[in-house]
Amino acid sequence: MSNPGETNDHPIENMEQLVEVLSRGCKPESAWRIGTEHEKFGFVRPEAARGRTPFSPPPYSPDGIEAILRALLGDGSAWQAIEDRGALIGLKGHGLEAGRSISLEPAGQFELSGAPLATLHETAAEMAAHFAALRAPSEALGLGFAPLGFQPLWPRDAMPMMPKSRYAIMRRYMPEVGALGLDMMKRTCTVQVNLDFADEADMARKMRVSLALQPLATALFANSPFCDGRPNGYLSNRARIWTDTDNARSGMPECVFEDGFGFARYVEWALDVPMYFVVRDGTLIDVAGRSFRAWLDGRETGVLAELTPTVGDFEDHLTTVFPDVRLKQFLEMRGADAGTPDMMVAQSALWVGLLYDAPTLMAAEALVREQPWDVYRTLRGEVPARAMEADFPGGLRALARRVVTLAAQGLAARGLGEDRYLDPLFAIAEGGPTQAEHWLSLYHGAWQGDVTPIFAAAAI
């Protein structure tokens, strides 16, 4: 992800400039890559609590998230510091870590944004290397990390807040536009894969297919059945949170399914998403709720009336829209809970298989068009509670079998032996439990109603 302020300061003179921001992402197939991002919750290991509350989330400082970042930064040979008003909030890779970055979600959820990689084997290796690098400084501090879709134990108010200017703006604004936005910020973790497109038509086809199938992905990767130490009634509580976070900037935008969808139509949609901030001289200015379109048209008042909108402002704005599939200069798949390493690699494998082989993509498009788009929108509302048991014509597991089989076909066409990464999804499609159902069976069985064992069981 780009950092606010590191963008184009050329004034916006016409809509073509904004379309060009997106169209710069067009790449020949030979240049298509796989970028995987994954988040995990920190926790205090009970055997090394040192007076701290076992399983509690680590603070920014002392002996918390900042210390881990500084340990990874080391002598600066592989990572460069990213700071916000003097606070260390992330790392940018160079040298051996080139193309990667480490960032912090609002409550210290630790995120690796992976490098653009050629194969899923590289994705799996990158993930394993990151986890290995994180273990040593974490263990030295008595901490662990667990990728789960929702914080299973601690209430929102017990979660720390990272010193990141953007998050202060979001924390103020979120309660104005949804009941669960602060939970999204502080108590959720996801895994995403970022994928390329050849041209506008290829982008539109991939966007439609992947957006329609995000609810299926939510069901397959459901991994957040607990809240405040007990079952919450959902299998993907993370997905449920997104239904009442900020619906003006999230969900399944209707424009994607309309005839003629392309870069310009996405720009039009994004211009009507309320703003969060603008950056001037390295400082974020809170303009949350104001209209980018009105600003462009000279109709905004206050501080925006004194500022000229730039291409960089629009690029920053694109990072503040959160549809289930987000278009920047690549496509971000955003529908899955964080989970076990093999499931997080499977998430990348699913979308690479479906979208990176042309015959498979065409077959996937034909499959999703068997149902009206409204069926998928309805499914999005049902899968948080029911996951693979949600209603779908012919059954959701039947759809899963067809979709995962297509993904395997697409991976086989790449000829790289990557289709084995789909094995966990085939197991679920054939009737096996989701991650959430696995944890619930332990909670009601061996764990005897105690959720705390999930931290060690899910730890990387």
* DSSP per-residue string spanning 281-341: TTEEEE-TT--HHHHHTT---GGGGGS--BHHHHHHHHTT-EESEEESSSEEEEEEE---H
The amino acid at 49: A
- Nearest residue to 34 (alpha-carbon basis) of 125, 120, 129, 124: 120
Q: Report the Cα–Cα distance between both ends of the chain, in Å, rounded.
A: 24
The amino acid at 20: E
What angle (nearest 5°) sits at the alpha carbon of residue 247, between those of residues 241 and 248? 150
State the 10-residue block means of pLDDT for the chain, 460 residues long.
56 98 98 98 96 97 98 96 97 96 98 98 98 97 98 98 97 97 98 98 98 98 98 98 98 97 98 98 96 97 97 98 98 98 98 98 98 98 98 98 98 98 98 98 98 98
Peptide bond into 4 cis (omega under 30): no
Asked if 354 contacts 410 with a C-beta cutoff of 8 angstroms, the reply is yes
Distance CA 91, CA 232 (A): 35
Tens of pLDDT, residues 118-133: 999 999 999 999 999 9
Q: What is the pTM of this model?
A: 0.96
- Which residues partner with 220 through β-bridges? none
pLDDT of residue 377: 97
Distance CA 220, CA 391 (A): 14
Radius of gyration of the chain (CA): 21
Distance CA 337, CA 343 (A): 10
Asked if 246 contacts 178 with a C-beta cutoff of 8 angstroms, the reply is yes
Tens of pLDDT, residues 306-345: 999 999 999 999 999 999 999 999 999 999 999 999 999 9
Dihedral sign, Cα of residue 91, residue 162, residue 343, residue 219:
negative
Q: What is the dihedral angle through the alpha carbons of 24, 263, 256, 205, rounded to the nearest 10 degrees? A: -50
pLDDT of residue 7: 53
Asked if 397 contacts 388 with a C-beta cutoff of 8 angstroms, the reply is yes
pLDDT of residue 330: 98
44 Ramachandran zone, left/alpha/beta (phi>0; psi -120 to 50): beta
Distance CA 186, CA 180 (A): 10
Helices (H), ranges, 47-104 = 65-73
Asked if 52 contacts 59 with a C-beta cutoff of 8 angstroms, the reply is no
